[in-house]
Each structure stands twice: as C-alpha cells, then as structure tokens.
Structure 1
Amino acid sequence: MAPKIAVFASGSGSNFQALHNAIEAQKLNAELVVMVTDKPEAFVVERANKVGVEALAFSPKTYDTKAAYEQAVIAALQQRGVEWIVLAGYMRLVSEVLLQAYPNRIVNIHPSLLPSFPGKDAIGQAIAHGVKVTGVTVHYVDEGMDTGPIIAQRAVNIIEGDVEATEAAIHRVEHELYTEALNQILK
C-alpha cells in the first residue's frame, strides 16, 4: 500500500504538479491525499482542483497562535490518514507542534546546495554571490530554516546572464530529484 502524503505549498505549485504527475505515471509510489496551503489565493489551489486532489486552505491570520494554526492542520491531516508531509514551496517555518506530530516524516525541497543559500530567493542569492554552480537539496525538516538532515542533492550550473534559464534548469532538477528522494525514503 502506498504511503499517504500531503503536499504543502504557498505559490504556483509546480512541484505539487510534478509530484502528482509522477504518482499518476507510477514513477512515485505514494498516494497524494491532500494539498495544504497557507495562501487561499495561491495558484496551487487551482492546480489541485484541476487534478482532483483535495485542497485545504488555512489562513494563519485567522488563528490566535501558530500552534493553533498547526493544530488545525494536524487535525485535518490525521482525519485523512496522512503519513508524510512533503513541503513544495511552502513559505512558512514549521514549529515543534507539526514536527512532533510527524517526527522525521516532513521533507522539503530547496533550490540550492544547502547549507549554502538557505531561506528565500536562494537562486537570487547564488547569482548575487557569483557562484558558477548551485543546485537542489531535498532534506528532512527541523526547527531551523533549511537546516535539517540532507537526503539528496544535485548540482545545477548557473547560466550566466540568464536568470530565467537558470530557474528553469533548477525546476527541472527539482521535479526529478524530489521524486527520486521520496521513493528512497517512503519505502
């Protein structure tokens, strides 16, 4: 039986779409039971609706505390039998509340070779620093900002003077590497 996963996203959802496509093509052994977003207006909601994956939108500002927000998310996940949380462009740090509910079962993908360039705009950070090679990292999530144990990494050359081409190359690697890494850890 395939492990039940929830994908968390805050933006356009290209990694959500890639994971869904990998599952449909039987390249990823998982059941994507729900997509969770902290941004009800995010395009990922439309993507989830289009492919028939339940979309749950939680607005953090409607909760008194971060813990209350995460407890509501956990209740929804547990109701659906979710076993793993897969962050895919989810732009919030998770707290101990979520980490304790899913110990060593929350993973993230980041567009750099961590520990270099954690946090927002990793591609922009790499380009600003003049590096010639950046990459993609899949890692377990801990309390820090992109600090959890690394599962897999792959290098990507920066295409000098072409930010869009570099971003496209990174996204292609993200979509491949996330599937490979998830297959490795979900067994």
Structure 2
Amino acid sequence: MHLFAHFSRFCAGFGGFMSKNIAIFASGNGTNAENIIRYFQNSESVNVKLVLADRETAFVLERARRLNVPFACLDKAAWADGTVVLSLLEDKGIDFIVLAGFLARVPDCILHAYPNKIINIHPSLLPKFGGKGMYGGHVHEAVVAAGETETGITIHYLNEHFDEGEIIVQYKCPVLPQDTAEDVAKKVHALEYEYYPKVIGGLLSEVC
C-alpha cells in the first residue's frame, strides 16, 4: 500500500506546513520510542514533546528521562477516562500521537480530539495476526506456527477497534522454514526501526 495516498487528507486536517509536536504512547521497553526520539532530535519541523506510559515499570520512561523528553505514567483509571491524558496533550500543544508498543486502549475522547492524527505500528501484515492479545512475541509465535512464508509491519491510523484502523503502509520480510519466533522478531524489529520514523516524518513534513 502506498504511503502518499493518505497524505492529502492528513494535511488538510492541519491546514499547511508548520512545526509539529508529537507524543509517544508506550507500555514497555521503549526501543521504538527511543529510535523515534533520536531520529527527530535535530529536526526543525518535528518535536517529540511528551512520552506517556500506562505502567510504572515501563522502561520507556527511563529512556525518555535519559533523552530529556518530558514523560508521565498514568494509571488505569486515567487511561479509561481519558480527560487527564487529553489535558496533558493539550498543555504540551500536541499535534500528533504515535503509539510504540502501547497495549492499553486509547480513550474515545482522545480519538475524537485527534481524528486521523494517531498512528500505530503492528508487527504483522494486518489483517493477519491482529486483534486484542496479539502483540510482541505472541504475534511472531503465531506467524511461525501458521507456517507463514512472509510477515512484516503494518503502520495504520487508530480507531475504536484493535488493529482495524485504515492501513497507511506495510513492509514485508521473508519467514524461512528454519526461522524461530526470535528470528522473525529480529527481522520485524529491523523493519520497525528503519521505517517507522521515516513514515512519521513523511506524514508530518514531506507534504504539509
């Protein structure tokens, strides 16, 4: 699927080019989040202004601290309600939200406040191996168990349903007969690190 087909609608929502502030939502280790932060560190058009987590043990918070990015961890009740999260986003002037291994459901009030301005990355070629409970190693194990010959990543807009938002772009890698779930994970992570920041940058600045 071609990335640029989705730019016109996105840009119309912002009404022209200007510097964009993004927030990253993450739940775990935060390697993708750190990769995104480093990618945009010297950018004049994209600023990572906030990292939000839903778990106190999420190492992404430590990564944000080390990289001097404001961060916060909000509890389950705050994520269920969404008003505190939305207030933080508004206080930071957030224009766009990036999910990077975020496992909680994004509240409806945030979806409504950021239409077509929230994207997620999923470690499979959706609609295969998507849905609630399909994340990280669970996905790669399922890919290997199903005897798939290829897998990859899907970058998509977020909606009310897990992994069902409109697909922006997909990138593929082969799955060899001898590959383990760990082998597949390495290939998929390489795609994530290479392409996710580039797609974010493209959505935010190449056309707008």
TM-score by length of 1: 0.91
How far apart are residue 96 of structure 1 and its match? 1.8
User: Does 2:150 correspond to 1:138?
Assistant: no
For the aligned residue pairs, the C-alpha RMSD in angstroms reads 1.7
Structure 1 residue aligned with 2:170: 153
Structure 2 residue aligned with 1:4: 21
Alpha-carbon distance in structure 2 between the residues aligned to 1:117 and 1:58: 28
Is contact 1:135–1:170 with CA below 8 Å preserved after alignment? Answer: yes
How far apart are residue 158 of structure 1 and its match? 2.0
User: Does 2:34 correspond to 1:22?
Assistant: no
- Structure 2, unpaired ranges of 5+: 1-17
Alignment equivalent of 1:113, drawn from 125, 130, 138? 125
Alpha-carbon distance in structure 2 between the residues aligned to 1:93 and 1:130: 30
Alpha-carbon distance in structure 2 between the residues aligned to 1:79 and 1:102: 15
User: Does 2:101 correspond to 1:89?
Assistant: yes
Structure 2 residue aligned with 1:73: 85
Structure 2 residue aligned with 1:164: 182
Structure 2 residue aligned with 1:124: 141
Structure 2 residue aligned with 1:181: 199
Alpha-carbon distance in structure 2 between the residues aligned to 1:125 and 1:71: 36
Alpha-carbon distance in structure 2 between the residues aligned to 1:170 and 1:7: 20
Secondary structure of the structure 2 residue equivalent to 1:172 = helix
Secondary structure of the structure 1 residue equivalent to 2:40 = helix
Is contact 2:65–2:71 with CA below 8 Å preserved after alignment? Answer: yes
How far apart are residue 177 of structure 1 and its match? 1.6
Secondary structure of the structure 1 residue equivalent to 2:103 = coil
Q: Identical aligned pairs, as a percentage? A: 34
Query: Which amino acid letter does the alignment assign opposite residue 133 of structure 1?
Result: E
Alpha-carbon distance in structure 2 between the residues aligned to 1:147 and 1:126: 18
Alignment equivalent of 2:50, drawn from 34, 39, 44? 34
Alpha-carbon distance in structure 1 between the residues aligned to 2:199 and 2:59: 25
Alpha-carbon distance in structure 2 between the residues aligned to 1:29 and 1:138: 21
How far apart are residue 19 of structure 1 and its match? 0.2
How far apart are residue 25 of structure 1 and its match? 5.6
Is contact 2:56–2:73 with CA below 8 Å preserved after alignment? Answer: yes
How far apart are residue 47 of structure 1 and its match? 0.6
Structure 1: 4+ residue segments shifted above 3 A: none
Alpha-carbon distance in structure 2 between the residues aligned to 1:29 and 1:114: 30
Structure 1 residue aligned with 2:6: none
Is contact 1:109–1:138 with CA below 8 Å preserved after alignment? Answer: yes
Task: Choose 122-131 or 48-57, whichever is displaced more.
Answer: 122-131
Alpha-carbon distance in structure 1 between the residues aligned to 2:129 and 2:188: 14
How far apart are residue 29 of structure 1 and its match? 4.5
Alpha-carbon distance in structure 2 between the residues aligned to 1:113 and 1:166: 13
